[in-house]
Amino acid sequence: MTEPIRRHPVLIAQAMLTLSHMTRRAPILGIGAGERLNIDPYGLDFSHPVCRLEEALEIIRMCFLSQGPVNFEGKHYRLDRAIMDLKPPKGKAPEVWIAGHGPRMLGLTATYGDGWYPTMVVSPEEYASKLEIIRAVAEQAGRDPEAITPALHRFVVVAPTEQEARSMLETRAIRSFGLAAPAGLWRKVGAEHPFGEQFRGYVDLIPERHDRAEIDEAISAVPPKLMEEGPLLWGTPEQVGGKLRAFGEAGLRHVVLAPVSGLVSRASMIYSLRAVRTITRSLTANR
């Protein structure tokens, strides 16, 4: 996972092609427009991130397919007979999965992506709507829409009972995930994000820019309804599995679950790891 600001797209392509010679299957490059957390503190330029990503995706694709020197003239990158002699093994060209959420990013996913890898899609209805956009643009671009893998990354809070899961949602460690939800999601539950109406969530979040008191106050402002409906999948293993099946009906084909229950206690961590295995088995049982 990366973005083309800290790493030049040619270096990204080179690393992925190297991996293709080391892995049993084709490696997957997860890429997005970037997050301020990794950019601003280091004096890097975060202006026009989507435009920069579009150029980078074109360059990366050219490097994967290169049969000679690569030329490119863009606003952010310029290649003048750049050499990329490394080729992937037959049938193991790296895949590109794009973390797209907004309209332009969904368009880039449709044009350049082998997979769609969102992190902040909170409902099956939203997922289906955005996947429909990707497939429509892909078809317009002459691509097979079904060749793009619809995926999803979700943080998970899981417990033996619904009551225990709800209790974990009320802890400060888990409530802090509400700060990573965009202001628009806060508005949907009738609240204002403490970091401003234009705050885009995890993309703009730099915790070090706030002192402990500010963070504590912001966490206290996280609405319970946001935690129930927003950035996390939560419940018993059966409930989480049911919610994921609803995403499956909306088109989801690949999910990455990141259990965060371990932030509450060691016992919760051990249970959540076992529960994710149970959820995975239940989802794949009938495949």
- Name, in order, each residue with C-beta under 8 angstroms of 157's C-beta and a sequence gap of 6 or more: 165, 168, 169, 174, 232, 233, 234, 235, 259, 260, 261, 272
pTM of the model: 0.93
Of 128, 153, 178, the one marking the end of a domain is 153
Spell out, as residue ranges, where the chain has pLDDT lower than 50: none
Q: Any idea which residue has 């690949």 for tokens?
A: 254
**Whole-number pLDDT of residue 248:** 96
d(C-alpha 121, C-alpha 244), whole Å = 12
* CATH code (residue 144): 3.20.20.30
Give the distance, in angstroms, between the CA of residue 222 and the centroid of all CA atoms in the same chain: 22
Do residue 131 and residue 161 come from a single domain?
Answer: no
Residues 79, 80, 86, 88, CA torsion sign: positive
Do residue 71 and residue 184 come from a single domain?
Answer: no
Domain count, the chain: 2
Do residue 149 and residue 168 come from a single domain?
Answer: no
86-107 pLDDT per residue, tens: 999 999 999 999 999 999 999 9
28-84 pLDDT per residue, tens: 999 999 999 999 999 999 999 999 999 999 999 999 987 779 999 999 999 999 988
**Whole-number pLDDT of residue 177:** 95
**Whole-number pLDDT of residue 287:** 61
**Whole-number pLDDT of residue 286:** 64
Q: Please answer whether residues 138 and 111 qualify as being in contact, where contact means their C-beta atoms are separated by less than 8 angstroms.
A: yes
**Whole-number pLDDT of residue 67:** 74
**Token pair recorded at residue 119:** 């992190």
**Whole-number pLDDT of residue 81:** 94
Do residue 166 and residue 275 come from a single domain?
Answer: yes
Q: If you count them, how many residues does the chain have?
A: 287
Q: Please answer whether residues 37 and 206 qualify as being in contact, where contact means their C-beta atoms are separated by less than 8 angstroms.
A: yes
- Which residues form the domain of 200? 154-245+258-284
Q: Please answer whether residues 20 and 93 qualify as being in contact, where contact means their C-beta atoms are separated by less than 8 angstroms.
A: yes
Do residue 130 and residue 180 come from a single domain?
Answer: no
